[in-house]
């Protein structure tokens, strides 16, 4: 699963000991993005959103267009199948 990594600098260490003020201590926080599934409602109330994004353990999110659903998935899900590659022009 792809890990989204965030760095937070200069946080106090647990237990009371603090890092020296002149040394930034990076903390790596791994945020795992879920693998999502995209659904289309084929039947339903006229004003209901047609596209839904779901994942185990999370409340499904609804969208009126597939474009909006995919924009959400891009931000919150990791459905990548391969490792990053160099872009060749």
Partner 1 sequence: MKQKVILKSLFVLGLMAVLHAQPSQWVDKLLMVRHSTGSTVPDYPGLMEVTGSAQVLIDEENSPQKGIPNLEDAPNFPISKRYLSMNMGYYWYDGILYTTASGSNERNEDGSQFLRWTIAKWEDEEWHCLGYMNTDIATMLMAIPCAEGRFIIFSNKNLKFENPSDRTPFYRASIPSGKNEFRLDSPIAHGMNEFPSFFSGQSLTNYFHCQIVMTDEYSTIIDGKTGLFWVFSLEKASLVKAGTIFKSITPEIVANNGYSVSPIFCIQPEKEGTVLMNTENEKVLTDGIGDYYDKLLATPNLSVEEILKLHTLRDEDIARQRPFIAWYRLYPENGRVEKLSMAPEGGIEIKEKGISFSFRPMLDGSVKMGNISSQLAQDSVKKREPKATDK
Residues making up the chain, counted from first to last: 89
Instruction: Give the residue with the Cβ less far from partner 1, 8 or 48.
Output: 48
21 CB-contact burial (10 Å; exposed 0-12 / middle 13-18 / buried 19+): exposed
Contact between 60 and partner 1 per CB under 8 A = yes
d(CA 18, CA 65): 50
Binding window for partner 1 (CB under 8 A); candidates: 8-16, 21-29, 72-80: 72-80
Told to check if 35 binds partner 1 by CB under 8 A, we report no
Is 1 near partner 1 (CB under 8 A)?
no
Q: Which residues pair with 42 in a beta bridge?
A: none
| CA 37 – CA 39 distance, rounded (Å) | 7
* 31 makes contact with partner 1 (CB under 8 A): no
- In the complex with partner 1, the residue whose CB is nearer, 17 or 31, is 31
Part in contact with partner 1 (CB under 8 A); list of ranges 9-17, 22-30, 38-46: 38-46
């Amino acid at each position: 699963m792809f890990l989204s990594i965030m760095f937070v600098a200069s946080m106090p260490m647990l237990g009371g000991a603090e890092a020296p003020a002149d040394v930034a201590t990076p903390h790596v926080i791994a945020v795992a993005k879920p693998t999502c599934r995209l659904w289309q409602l084929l039947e339903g109330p006229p004003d209901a959103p047609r596209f839904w994004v779901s994942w185990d353990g999370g409340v499904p999110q609804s969208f009126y267009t597939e474009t909006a659903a995919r924009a959400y998935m891009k931000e919150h899900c990791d459905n990548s199948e391969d490792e990053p590659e160099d872009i060749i022009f």
